């Protein structure tokens, strides 16, 4: 999801592809809200801008066995591939809308993951589904496109639990007229679980704009970011042994910062090995402890959408409006 507001304009121009040089422009400012943040991001940390020229990039995912990054450009209806040695290339087009003619301003794929079978699993706005595709050969298959006979709105972000179940969010951002689109069939902007046998249940139905989604390292807590300027929050839900989400509580509330005029909202995020959330939010990227304490921020000066761990698990890749960025951290992503 992209807002029309930007904080500042960068004073340099970047080329669309990666150069042969290993030195990249930098951007952003690190804010240390808590002393513990110095262990996660040392004082000499810098955000590198490694590619640019996109409309609105989202959903980064690192392909571990091949050492490259995939990410969506939602308006362009493409998935891009970034490789340290080969640079940037188009990996998949179309990525989220295969229909005829204009669909919306955000028709492509959004959130991406590599599932436990090694497939690229995509949240597709235009085709309003969750799809899976082998990385090396073969076409897509639809994993889910409806709930109780009604089409999803526009699946946005997804995570897979250790037990194989998928959990995903379904706000209206990919629809042509958003929440007022006449083709909308489901009244709630829900959070869903799809079991390995294909059964789908609506786990959460009372959020106004569910967006980013992730699990704690032990899989017992489900986190949801809500991209609503009136209630810009991160929620935490206990998950029982059957995989059902219990009563949620607010983990962190950034509504006051959002209402103060700082552009950006809680959006995509990932969790590190200690359970800290690294999430897009007002002004850039927030780092929040599992106890709900704000440890630090990376103020980017541009709308930040999502992030993903890559390389050896300690490099955080960030999709920042038209830029692809990365920063070396003092921790590793959960599961590395």
Catalytic residue (choose from 73, 127, 170, 267): 267
Cis-peptide into 94, omega within 30 deg? yes
Compute the distance between CA of residue 225 and CA of residue 265 in angstroms, rounded to an integer. 9
Compute the distance between CA of residue 37 and CA of residue 329 in angstroms, rounded to an integer. 10
Q: Is residue 211 annotated as involved in ligand binding?
A: yes
DSSP class of residue 40 equals H
Phi, psi at residue 255, to the nearest 5°? -60, -40
Which residue is associated with the tokens 């909202």? 265
Helix (H) or strand (E) holding 60: strand 57-63
Q: Is residue 136 annotated as involved in ligand binding?
A: no
First to last CA, the chain: 28
Phi, psi at residue 178, to the nearest 5°? 50, -130
Compute the distance between CA of residue 39 and CA of residue 287 in angstroms, rounded to an integer. 12
Compute the distance between CA of residue 145 and CA of residue 200 in angstroms, rounded to an integer. 10
Which residues have CB under 8 Å from 175's CB, separation 6+? 104, 125, 153, 154, 181, 183, 184
Residue 65 annotated to the active site: no
Compute the distance between CA of residue 268 and CA of residue 61 in angstroms, rounded to an integer. 12
The answer to whether 289 and 297 are in contact (CB under 8 A) is no
Q: Is residue 58 annotated as involved in ligand binding?
A: yes
Binding-site positions for a divalent metal cation read 58, 211, 267
Binding-site positions read 58, 156, 211, 267
- What are the catalytic residues? 267
Binding-site positions for substrate read 156
């Amino acid at each position: 999801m992209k807002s029309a507001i930007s904080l500042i304009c960068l004073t340099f121009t970047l080329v669309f592809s990666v150069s042969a040089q290993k030195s990249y422009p930098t951007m952003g400012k690190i804010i240390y809200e808590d002393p513990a943040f110095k262990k996660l991001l040392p004082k000499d940390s810098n955000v590198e801008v490694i590619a640019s020229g996109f409309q609105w990039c989202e959903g980064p995912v690192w392909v571990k066995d091949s050492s490259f990054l995939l990410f969506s450009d939602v308006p362009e209806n493409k998935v891009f591939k970034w490789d340290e040695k080969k640079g940037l290339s188009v990996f998949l087009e179309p990525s989220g809308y295969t229909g005829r003619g204009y669909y919306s301003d955000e028709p492509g794929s959004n959130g991406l993951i590599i599932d436990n079978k090694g497939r690229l699993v995509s949240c597709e706005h235009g085709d309003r589904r969750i799809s899976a595709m082998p990385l090396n050969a073969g076409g897509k298959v639809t994993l889910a496109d409806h709930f109780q006979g009604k089409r999803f709105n526009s699946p946005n972000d997804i995570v897979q639990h250790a037990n194989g179940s998928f959990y995903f969010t379904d706000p209206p951002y990919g629809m042509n007229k958003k929440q007022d689109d006449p083709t909308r069939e489901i009244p709630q902007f829900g959070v869903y679980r799809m079991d390995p046998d294909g059964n789908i249940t609506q786990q959460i139905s009372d959020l106004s704009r569910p967006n980013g989604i992730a699990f704690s390292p032990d899989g017992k807590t489900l986190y949801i970011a809500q991209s609503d300027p009136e209630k810009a929050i991160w929620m935490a839900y206990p998950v029982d042994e059957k995989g059902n989400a219990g009563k949620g509580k607010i983990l962190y509330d950034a509504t006051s910062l959002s209402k103060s005029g700082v552009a950006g909202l809680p959006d995509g995020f990932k969790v590190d090995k200690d359970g800290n959330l690294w999430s897009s939010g007002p002004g850039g990227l927030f780092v929040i402890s599992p106890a709900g304490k704000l440890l630090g921020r990376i103020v980017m000066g541009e709308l930040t959408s999502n992030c993903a761990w890559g390389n050896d698990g300690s490099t955080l890749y960030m999709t920042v409006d038209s830029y692809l960025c990365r920063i070396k951290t003092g921790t590793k992503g959960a599961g590395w």
